[in-house]
Structure 1
Amino acid sequence: MKALLFDFDGTLLDTNELIIQTFMHVLEERFPGQYSPKDCINFIGPSLYETFEQLTPDEVEDMVEKYRLWNQTHHDELVTEFDGVVPTLEQLKEQGIRMAIVSTKRRDTIEKGLNLMGAKHLFEFWIGLDDVKNVKPHPEPVLLAIEKLGVEKEDVMMIGDNYHDIEAGKNAGVKSAGVAWSLKGEEFLMQYNPDYMLQHISDLLTIVKES
């Protein structure tokens, strides 16, 4: 394995509480009493546009803007790092593994999280919502990352906490890995048959040696 593509939210940085609270803020204002934090778990993974096209088809831009404003304001106070992420990424980089991020977030928001983690230097680039026409599970963002890296598909793995990540990897013809710390749970992800299931981020150190 020569290259690893990572989802960001819920995979490298624990943004689950931030996302849930942001959705609750904007939905409670628009639909008082109709949504619970548990309902909001279902909105983790798809792009904001996809979610609000289903919830408020006539107010998509307005709702996305409200979401982003509250999310940006409360970002740093509500996110936390998953155990062992930065040390593991540093070891992978030392071993010559090439790494990039493939997310459905905007690039500036990804960068905000990377700066908070002190991990920006570990990735060659990050692909966000604003870089593609089609987001995961469409293969476009993964294929774009492969093109930018200049590597063969058989040397690449897509890693994430949602089925969009696993399916995007499969659709692009690369290996895929789910993360057991996904808010949706390991059992949920296993339905999509990832090639690997990481119990801890450090599992990647073994996988790259054996593959």
Structure 2
Amino acid sequence: MDKRQFPMQIKGVLFDKDGTLFDFHRTWIPILESAALTAARGDVSLVPGLMAAGGYDPATGRVASGSVIAAGNTPELALLWLQSLPHWEAADLTMRLDEIFASEAPHRSEPVTDLVAFLTALRGDGFRVGIATNDSAASALATIGQFGLSGLVEFYCGYDSGYGTKPAPGMVHAFCDAVDLEPADVAVVGDNFHDLEMGMAAGAGLRVGVLTGTSAHEDLAPHADLVIGSIVELPALLAGLR
């Protein structure tokens, strides 16, 4: 790694939530299956088709990188599922899915490491910390509270926070405004190319892909400055840039 590639000192880190701080498949497959069953109003036969439409492959147990399940937000998932569920209105299904996600995600989320220790160390090294997710803000807040991160995460936002959705730059700019940094001072860390494209659109100083979500190295490498196995490797990476 050549420091000369990254001349600006990184002072803040904006994390994606699912697939980055939390293992995507262990967390979200059970939640989405539960949501699909609710959306299908108990018709078990519809669940596999809904999951497959979203990008889930039952043969591998994996979700395709860039699919609606991997990278979309709740309204996008609702619109996709409405093709098979004409008895719903889009707004009603979106609201019901968000209720399920906000209720279940905090309790089902599987952290990739001890997040309190991890974020405490980052904050101790002087980094400002935020979370930007295409999940809802309510789900993000509930998960932050569930894992005892409220005093460590200085900013969070969801697709419905008013800053736009990934890959638009608004979430990065909102984080910068909240912690008084410039985009070039910020590392954006995520498991999908829409996280990294958000960082590029915002002018983030560093874009880091992680492999704890739905994407392989080859999916992320064209969009990232660096690709690492998980956030566990991030502190050493950031220290190497100082």
Secondary structure, counterpart of 1:131 in structure 2: coil
Counterpart-to-counterpart distance in 2, 1:132 and 1:124: 17
Q: Give percent identity, aligned residues only.
A: 23
Corresponding position: 1:180 with 2:180: no
Counterpart for residue 45 of structure 1: 71
Q: Does the aligned pair in 2 maintain the 1:13–1:113 contact within 8 Å?
A: no
Counterpart for residue 54 of structure 1: 80
Counterpart-to-counterpart distance in 2, 1:85 and 1:77: 15
Shift of 1:131: 2.0
Counterpart-to-counterpart distance in 1, 2:99 and 2:14: 28
RMSD: 2.4
Structure 2 unaligned spans of 5+: 1-9, 57-62
Q: CA 1:133–1:98 in 2, change beyond 3 Å: closer, same or farther?
A: closer
Counterpart for residue 123 of structure 1: 153
Counterpart-to-counterpart distance in 1, 2:30 and 2:179: 36
Counterpart for residue 195 of structure 1: 225
Which residues of 2 match residues 119-158 of structure 1 at below 5 A? 119-158=149-188
Counterpart-to-counterpart distance in 1, 2:106 and 2:198: 29
Could you say which structure has the larger radius of gyration?
2
Q: CA 1:127–1:69 in 2, change beyond 3 Å: closer, same or farther?
A: closer
Q: Does the aligned pair in 1 maintain the 2:55–2:70 contact within 8 Å?
A: no
Q: CA 1:21–1:167 in 2, change beyond 3 Å: closer, same or farther?
A: same
Corresponding position: 1:24 with 2:54: no
- TM (norm. structure 1) is 0.86
**Higher deviation after alignment, 108-117 or 52-61:** 52-61
Q: CA 1:130–1:11 in 2, change beyond 3 Å: closer, same or farther?
A: same
- Which of residues 10, 20, 42 in structure 2 aligns to 1:11? 20
The Cα offsets for residues 144-167 of structure 1, whole Å up to 9 and x where unpaired, read as 211222212221111111111010
Counterpart-to-counterpart distance in 2, 1:26 and 1:117: 22
Counterpart for residue 166 of structure 1: 196
Q: CA 1:67–1:195 in 2, change beyond 3 Å: closer, same or farther?
A: same
**Higher deviation after alignment, 106-115 or 49-58:** 49-58
Which residues of 2 match residues 36-115 of structure 1 at below 5 A? 36=51, 39-40=55-56, 41=63, 42=67, 43-56=69-82, 59-115=89-145
Counterpart for residue 34 of structure 1: 49
Secondary structure, counterpart of 2:104 in structure 1: helix
Q: CA 1:82–1:90 in 2, change beyond 3 Å: closer, same or farther?
A: same
The Cα offsets for residues 42-84 of structure 1, whole Å up to 9 and x where unpaired, read as 3122111122223327732222223233334433442211124
The Cα offsets for residues 7-63 of structure 1, whole Å up to 9 and x where unpaired, read as 111211235344333333444517715244683433122111122223327732222
Q: Does the aligned pair in 2 maintain the 1:10–1:182 contact within 8 Å?
A: yes
Counterpart-to-counterpart distance in 1, 2:180 and 2:148: 26
